[in-house]
Structure 1
Amino acid sequence: MSEELQAKAKRAQKRVLDSIPPRWILPADVKAKVTKSDVRSIIPSCGLLSAAQIDIINQNASEVVQKLAEGEWKATEVMEAFCASAAVAHQIVNCLVEFFPDEAMARARQLDRQLAETKTPAGPLHGLPMAIKDTHEVKGKSFTWAFSTWLDRPAADADSSGVKIMRDAGVIFFARTTMPQTGMALETVSPLWGRTLNPFNPAVFGAGGSSGGDGALVAMRGSPASGLSTDIGGSIRAPAAFNGLYGIRPTSERTPRTGLGAPVKGNVSIKVSTGPLCHSMTDLKMLVKLLLTHPTLPYEPTACLPFWDEMAASNPRKNLRIGLMLTDGVVDPHPPVSRALEEVCTRLKAAGHTLVEFRPPFDCWEAALTTWALYFQTGAAETLGLLEAGGEKPIPVFAHYLKTFNIKPLTVTEQFRHNASMAAYKAAFQRSWDAADGAYDCIICPSAPMAGVPHDFPLWWGYTTLWNLLDYPSIIMPLKGFTISSQQDPKAAGYSPRSNPFDRANWEICKFLESCRELNVLIMRPPDDPEMWKTQPMTFQIVSRPYRDEDLINVSEVIDGVVNTANMPRL
């Protein structure tokens, strides 16, 4: 990294730390514990939050909203608690690019006065604290998209549609969260903002991407939820998976997208979607319903007309017929991921539901080639141009994907061909879904081929990008109480990797170190030992038909009730 870029990064990161009031600065001896596994306990034990504040941050978003609306808690005390927690979380996992607690507290005082005078909440999310991913336009503030050349760009003159929807509902924004350089990585790291760490094992694993700052902050209880994470290839679902959260990528055509930043606008082949990361299905339903109905933006031009099928969302469901996709045929999941799916399957069968093995009706590697070509129809020229303008080199994993998928500018004919292929994949998948005896209520599959993303490891995205290509809504759900262990999850003897560029690397991570060194990648320790993964949470993915997001919510609530009977662990 050049001296100029180093100076800019130092200035940017210092600006965030300087915005933290002295009363929330971690003592040096406490911060030294960050290298140890599972650092979530630091916040309640650091002595910087009161017992009452710890109780507040341990509530899920829907619980916070209820207590605020009923006047049991004031918006100011809730905001103070989450700002304190977020400040500590940032010092541990590096998840913020901007922090404005004074501004948030002023808004909280305003809402408290309004509720006291009118006895009416400001909206359905009255006083709920929330951070915003560094991709949304926010009036009076700028976003960077983790490009150093965008650090000092002019402030936006209007809110993105998502920010407006949340503000109109009563949300109070207090921070902006990190994302990776270029936004196209499932780990959050950039020369400008540094690396966002995984709360469960910061020394080895990343927080996911591109909404990694959101995922780490919510997992650390620095925000009750993220309502505005975005996803075009797994950017909501990977952070949900690697931080043990609930997350949804809704049908993209149903989510408003005005005011979302990007290196280049105009790609309408695979569209970005906006959705929440949170701690419960109740929170997820509350937040995604708001986004999909966008009540104060009824004619938002980037989304279809708002609707919510309450019957589909709440109709009692018994005897679900579930397709079980154990592998995509490109990269087999690690043993603990497969064991988790088996455990989910066992619990659902015991509850009377039917599970049928499902196999994709086409070659998922060929589908991935189409997906990546459509991501970068101009050959990533604009992205690479922004990096060059800021004196940056692409982060190694991004360079790896560009090379692996042979990214190049497409001719009009090639664009048409790939769009035609995408349409054919959608048609084939629909036929396969309908051909099942009685069809499927949903499909369950891995969230990712592994339980966490090691630092700078080029993860196979196929278990998430498939649903972006098809535009099927999908939910990540934690499997609570599941523990990875070397005894139960040994490597399979005699495994023969497939010939694609990802399967061997996924299976034999330690051997991939040689390739990583060629790309100047630093992996702190080869995480090929199951014991390295033992603190990582386990999740799985639930998929439903396009535009049937309410039905996905419904079946996911049923599944959650079967496989997760205990409450989410709290700090």
Structure 2
Amino acid sequence: MIYNWYSYYTHTSIWKRKRAARAHQLASVPPEFRAPPDGDDTEIVSTPISQIVTHAQSGLWSPSRILRAFGRHALAAHRATNCLSEILLSSSVPPSAPTPTTLPLYGLPVSLKDSIDVAGYDSTNGYSVAAFRPARADSALVRLLKDAGAQVYVKTNVPTTLLSFDTRNDLHGATTNPHSSIPSPHPPLAPGGSSGGEAALIAGGGGRIGIGTDIAGSVRVPAHFCGIYSVRGACGRFPRAGIQGSLPGQEGVLGIASPMARTLDDLEWFWRRVVECEPWKYDTSCNVIPWRPVDYLGEGRKLKFGVMWDDGLVRPTPACRRALSETVDRLRKAGHEVVDFVVPDAPQALIVGWTLLLADGGVTITSRLHAGEFVEPGLLSLLKALHLPSLIKRLYVAYLRWRGDGWYADLVQSLSTKSVAELWQLVAWRNGWRQRVQDALDGAALDFVLCAPNPSPAPVGGPNTGKALLLACGDTFLWNILDYSAGVLPVSAVDPALDAATLEPKNVVERRLYNVYDTKAMSGAPVGVQVVGRRLEEEKVLAAMRVIQDVWK
């Protein structure tokens, strides 16, 4: 195979220019943003977003004063974590209203994942081929936010292709987890992905509310790793038009946009305000479903949870198992019913999910890559498996089965370019499986499923970290395939004295994950739990998150 040196040279030239362009953006921000945050800035950024909007509407704080506070804190978070891809501070301030305004998000700074189109700025998804090609128009979501009076002030870093649970690319470099940004003998922790820049910004104090996207756990894993809150909504609740995914046209497992927040109050308040702005008027993919308030705590209702202890492939590490076990104990002490629950055919569903994502043979992903461009090693392995010659693939699959890695062997065997008929068969299996899961939930009379957001807390970041995490995503990916609403909230932290690894890995996916599980490096890192509801039940999921937060008080 002849290496494409011209493509490599083009890629190298682009990423160097892009890094220089971001450096110029940072150096060119208006002078009022360059000073370190002061006490007034910190007071504003520490205020719940509902109160920020109230103060802006009343005239107590002007939008420009609020933006200055968030801008200074965002730049400080970026210096610590390298979380920003685009800086919009020079163009974010809405005109000051001559009289107090009633716009529902007036003055509120909102950050966005890199893939969400803002007119005049790149949406690269980490690809160098997409650099210096600014969006011509705002996405539907950005139009809604601006119409509601919000200030879009920064865009945040992502991994190349978006299919990674670490955040690094050649255009902007690697983002780190703010929980490891202080001096430490260990390398920085990973922030998760693909909305890792968004999570790092919020957890690092540079924002209170932002929007990521999620196709296999891309808002929930970063929320778990960085100790913030997020709800992955079902398709049809949040606008998607104008968001640049890495797999446009792929509908076997749909990517969605979802908010990420510093607190549960902020998350619920923002969800409600966006839905009250009638997103279906901005994006035809949105369902006409008004906000339906739910308050289990106020009602005193006792809930029934089913615990999915693992996805049938990877068992949680001790830190995540402990957080889940303690949550179960606390719920039971509060009078809620908790039973074990096994998702039917979960390992096979994960294979179908990955096969749907790569049903085009990886063409959509690879056609946009330049030679030498960084790609998550785990994804690269899957792309190589897609194109193994038939005989080599059969031998490799036989070898994997011989060494006891039956699930991975089944995945490799399943990966190939699919015909239309084969794609329809996969979708038919998915639809039948969705019904079997619903029947199982109904049969157990469950209100919610409780599980880990990932088998591990945030591991040390590095070029090979994503490979350990990529296939160990069943705790989140299953709910994407089902298109269920699912939320993550922090409940605990890694304690090396309690969370030492004791399990012997049973397969290659588990082995890779446990190889990066280091409680000394992770000490103090956040650990979350995930609560899962049915499709389009975001209000109920948020209410159940409040129940869980309450039992941890």
Provide TM-score, normalisation by structure 2: 0.87
Amino acid at match of 1:382: T
- Structure 2 counterpart of 1:167: 146
- Structure 2 counterpart of 1:90: 78
- Structure 2 counterpart of 1:209: 193
- Structure 2 counterpart of 1:559: 548
**Structure 2 residue 428 is matched with structure 1 residue 446:** no
**Structure 2 residue 305 is matched with structure 1 residue 322:** yes
1:491 deviation in Å?
1.9
**Structure 2 residue 27 is matched with structure 1 residue 76:** no
- Structure 2 counterpart of 1:399: 380
Alpha carbons of structure 1 residues 119 and 528: separation in structure 2 relative to 1, 3 Å: closer
**Structure 2 residue 113 is matched with structure 1 residue 133:** yes
Give, in whole Å, the separation in 1 of the partners of 2:328 and 2:57.
Answer: 39
Tell me the secondary structure at the aligned position of residue 277 of structure 1: strand
Counterparts of 1:18-33 in structure 2, within 5 Å, are 18-21=24-27
1:186 deviation in Å?
1.0
Q: Is the 8 A contact 1:162 1:291 kept in 2?
A: no
Tell me the secondary structure at the aligned position of residue 371 of structure 1: helix
Equivalent of residue 183 in structure 1, options 149, 162, 187: 162
- Structure 1 counterpart of 2:478: 466
Alpha carbons of structure 1 residues 21 and 314: separation in structure 2 relative to 1, 3 Å: farther
- Structure 2 counterpart of 1:268: 251
Give, in whole Å, the separation in 2 of the partners of 1:528 and 1:214.
Answer: 23
1:207 deviation in Å?
1.1
Tell me the secondary structure at the aligned position of residue 399 of structure 1: helix
Cα deviation digits, residues 353-409 of structure 1 (max 9, x gap): 1111111122x2211110011112211202101103x65253323213434644431
**Structure 2 residue 242 is matched with structure 1 residue 259:** yes
Alpha carbons of structure 1 residues 360 and 95: separation in structure 2 relative to 1, 3 Å: same
Amino acid at match of 2:449: I
- Structure 2 counterpart of 1:241: 224
- Structure 2 counterpart of 1:300: 283
My pick for the range that moved more, 2-11 or 342-351, is: 2-11
Counterparts of 1:390-429 in structure 2, within 5 Å, are 392-402=373-383, 403=385, 405-406=411-412, 407-429=415-437
Equivalent of residue 44 in structure 2, options 56, 79, 90: 56
Give, in whole Å, the separation in 2 of the partners of 1:266 and 1:22.
Answer: 38
Give, in whole Å, the separation in 1 of the partners of 2:499 and 2:307.
Answer: 20
Tell me the secondary structure at the aligned position of residue 178 of structure 2: coil
Equivalent of residue 371 in structure 1, options 349, 353, 366: 353
- Structure 1 counterpart of 2:537: 548
Alpha carbons of structure 1 residues 73 and 329: separation in structure 2 relative to 1, 3 Å: same
Give, in whole Å, the separation in 2 of the partners of 1:506 and 1:142.
Answer: 34
Give, in whole Å, the separation in 1 of the partners of 2:266 and 2:374.
Answer: 39
Q: Is the 8 A contact 1:129 1:174 kept in 2?
A: yes
Cα deviation digits, residues 189-248 of structure 1 (max 9, x gap): 11221111111125232111111111111111112210x211011111111111100001
Amino acid at match of 2:165: L
Give, in whole Å, the separation in 2 of the partners of 1:426 and 1:145.
Answer: 30
My pick for the range that moved more, 328-337 or 342-351, is: 342-351
Q: Is the 8 A contact 2:360 2:417 kept in 1?
A: yes
Equivalent of residue 476 in structure 1, options 456, 478, 488: 488
Alpha carbons of structure 1 residues 293 and 410: separation in structure 2 relative to 1, 3 Å: farther
Q: Is the 8 A contact 2:460 2:521 kept in 1?
A: no
**Structure 2 residue 207 is matched with structure 1 residue 223:** yes
Cα deviation digits, residues 31-50 of structure 1 (max 9, x gap): xxxxxxxxxxxx9xx98221
Equivalent of residue 99 in structure 2, options 99, 118, 124: 118
Alpha carbons of structure 1 residues 548 and 263: separation in structure 2 relative to 1, 3 Å: closer
Amino acid at match of 1:504: R
Give, in whole Å, the separation in 2 of the partners of 1:418 and 1:58.
Answer: 47
Q: Is the 8 A contact 1:94 1:195 kept in 2?
A: yes
Q: How high is the sequence identity, in percent, across the aligned residues? A: 28
Alpha carbons of structure 1 residues 143 and 22: separation in structure 2 relative to 1, 3 Å: closer
Alpha carbons of structure 1 residues 271 and 316: separation in structure 2 relative to 1, 3 Å: same
Alpha carbons of structure 1 residues 299 and 181: separation in structure 2 relative to 1, 3 Å: closer
Q: Is the 8 A contact 2:125 2:245 kept in 1?
A: yes
Q: Is the 8 A contact 1:187 1:453 kept in 2?
A: no
1:485 deviation in Å?
2.0
- Structure 2 runs not aligned, ≥5 long: 182-186, 386-407
**Structure 2 residue 132 is matched with structure 1 residue 152:** yes
1:178 deviation in Å?
0.9
Cα deviation digits, residues 413-468 of structure 1 (max 9, x gap): 221121111112211111110111xx111111001000114323221111110000
Give, in whole Å, the separation in 1 of the partners of 2:279 and 2:245.
Answer: 24
My pick for the range that moved more, 241-250 or 267-276, is: 267-276
Provide TM-score, normalisation by structure 1: 0.84
Give, in whole Å, the separation in 1 of the partners of 2:240 and 2:30.
Answer: 35
- Structure 1 runs not aligned, ≥5 long: 26-42, 510-526, 566-571
Give, in whole Å, the separation in 2 of the partners of 1:197 and 1:311.
Answer: 36
Equivalent of residue 441 in structure 2, options 429, 433, 438: 433
1:293 deviation in Å?
4.7
1:553 deviation in Å?
1.8
Cα deviation digits, residues 100-156 of structure 1 (max 9, x gap): 22222xx24x13xx1xx23223x2111111222111122232311110011122x32
**Structure 2 residue 18 is matched with structure 1 residue 8:** no
- Structure 1 counterpart of 2:520: 531
Amino acid at match of 1:349: R
